Structure formats: C-alpha cells, structure tokens
Amino acid sequence: MDTTKGYGLCKLGGIEVIMKTLVVFGAIAIGLLAFAQSPVPNPATAHAPDGGTFTRIQSIAVLPLTNASFSATVTTEWTRILADESTATVKNHRMVARDNTGRIFEERRAFSPDGDTQPTQITALEYSDPNLHEFLSCIPAQRICYLSTYARPPLSAMPNGMGGLELCGCATPPGPGYSVKQEALGQQTIENLDATGSREITTLPAGQFGNARSEPIVKEFWYSPRLGLNLITKRFDPRSGSENFIVNHLSLNEPDPRIFEPPADYQVVRQVVVKQGTAQNAK
C-alpha cells in the first residue's frame, strides 16, 4: 500500500487549510486597521450645511430687438484683487444669438484660467421668447428647464434716448453722495459695425460699502446702434475687480432656428415667482 500519495494529499490539504486561515485572519486584521484609522467624529466641529458663495457676472444684455438677427461669441475676463494685493484672473466664452422675431438664446458657462481658449462647463441654457412671453432656464446637470414669464415685448426699434450706459442696464443707479461723470469716446469700427464709445466714472462715498475712503467705479462701453448691443464693455469696481466683455466671431445672418429650441428630452417645470429670490412650482 502506497501511503506516500495519501500523505502528500493530506499535507497539501493541510497547507490549503492553513492558507485559507491566514487569508481570513489577514482580512480581519485589515478591517480592524481600517476601523482604527477611520476618523472619529468631533462634536466640536458639528455644524449645519454651508450655503457657500455664488457669484454670477452679467456681461452683455441682449434685448428682443426684431429684424436685427445675429450670432456671436462673448468672451469674458474677470480679474479679482486678492487680500495680498496679487490678482486672480479667470475667463470663459459663450454663445449668444437673436433671430429676426426677437427670440434670444444665451449659454452660461463656468470660469477657468484658460476659459477664453478652452470650452468650460455649460451651467445653463437660456431661451427668451418675447412673443410667447416665456423665459426658459435649462440646467444640464438636472436635465430640467425652468419656465417663467418674460415680460419684455418685442422691440421694432430701440427706445429714444437710450445709449450704451442705459441700454445694458449696468450704469450705476443714482444714490446719495454719488458723484457721476460721463464722457464721449468717439466712434470706431468693431466687427465691421459702427460703434459709439462712452465712459462713466462713479465715485462712491466713504462708508457706502464699508469702504474707508471714496472709491471710483469706471465703466466703458462701445455700443452698436444697429444691433442695440454693447460690443465691448469694460468695468472696474473696487468691490469685484475688473471685468472685460468682448463680442467677437459676429455673424449677422439669421441663426439656425434650432438654436432657439430647448432640449427635447428635458423636463419643463413651470415656476410662479412669489417674491424676489424665491419661486414655487405650479401644476
């Protein structure tokens, strides 16, 4: 009777049992180590969720002017002054368009240091229809379009007396103690369009926003009467830094109608504005 084969099988079987046992103990040890290294919640650091900070820069304003179709790219450069007096600059570029009926499409994109050359994330797609009086803000991250009322009617011409400062809605409103100075900068051609330049300097008095001394806000505009649009806007505000907006890659052709149609697979949620800053859904 050959017992060596049986002995060999028994020996191998014993090794297998020992190896399995080591694997089990190894797994337990790793689990205990991970448990020992996991952070223990510190009651002293408990807090409610942080709302964070949200900043949105309104660059150009596109009004529902009829028979003034265009499509273009708006490039934005935002430079902030940091606490140590160094600067931080971020950029983006986005598409805007308007058709002959006054419908408006605008992309909203995130900022990045090279956002003028590289596409950044789309945060919203916005559709304004002055004929249906509807405004849709479509959020790609949610695949939802929020529908609200667009109050502006179509404009066959720009209202009398409106220049670059009033048109964009970014002229500083009058206030107590404000000193406002405006000056004309002449004419120049931008993107093959005639543009009128103007500058506004508003001096805010000390204490207006916690400032120890008076501070100037400087805004420069190059306005196209044909499009009712500021082709270049430059701002300096001590509260937010400097912001430059340039309309380029401009086409005066009628845009593709599909540009003004929101994504077909997005859910539409109608909003009823209760008060400024809040909204509720309506069935």
Chain centroid, CA 114 distance in Å: 15
Q: Which pLDDT belongs to residue 254? A: 98
Q: Which pLDDT belongs to residue 163? A: 55
Walk along the chain (283 residues) in steps of 10 and give the mean pLDDT of each run. 41 43 44 53 78 71 95 95 90 97 96 93 96 96 96 85 55 70 93 94 81 87 93 90 95 97 96 52 44
Q: What is the largest CA-CA distance in the chain?
A: 116
- Which of 204, 34, 13, 192 minimizes the C-alpha distance to 26? 34
| Residue 267 near residue 147 (C-beta atoms within 8 A) | no
* DSSP secondary structure of the chain: --HHHHHHHHHHHHHHHHHHHHHHHHHHHHHHHHHHHSPPP-GGG--PPP--------------BTT--EEEEEEEEEEEE-TTS-EEEEEEEEEEEE-TT--EEEEEE--BTTTTTS---EEEEEEEETTTTEEEEEETTTTEEEEEE--PPPBSSPPTT--HHHHTT-SPPP-TT-EEEEEEEEEEEETTEEEEEEEEEEEEPTTSSS-SS-EEEEEEEEEETTTTEEEEEEEEETTTEEEEEEEEEEE-SPPPGGGGS--TTSEEEEEEEEETTEEEE--
Q: Which pLDDT belongs to residue 50? A: 79
Cα atoms in the 13 Å half-sphere on the side-chain side of 19: 6
What ranges do the domains of the chain cover? 62-74+91-157+253-283, 161-251
Whole-number Å distance between alpha carbons of 105 and 64: 11
- Which of 233, 117, 136 minimizes the C-alpha distance to 185? 233
Q: Which pLDDT belongs to residue 144? A: 97
Nearest 5°: phi and psi at 107?
A: -85, 150
Token pair for 255: 């845009």
Whole-number Å distance between alpha carbons of 220 and 188: 14
Q: Which pLDDT belongs to residue 174? A: 66
| Residue 167 near residue 223 (C-beta atoms within 8 A) | yes
Angle, CA 112 vertex, CA 111 and CA 114 arms, to 5°: 125
Q: Which pLDDT belongs to residue 126? A: 97
- Which of 45, 76, 21, 22 minimizes the C-alpha distance to 235? 76
| Residue 251 near residue 80 (C-beta atoms within 8 A) | no
Angle, CA 234 vertex, CA 178 and CA 200 arms, to 5°: 30
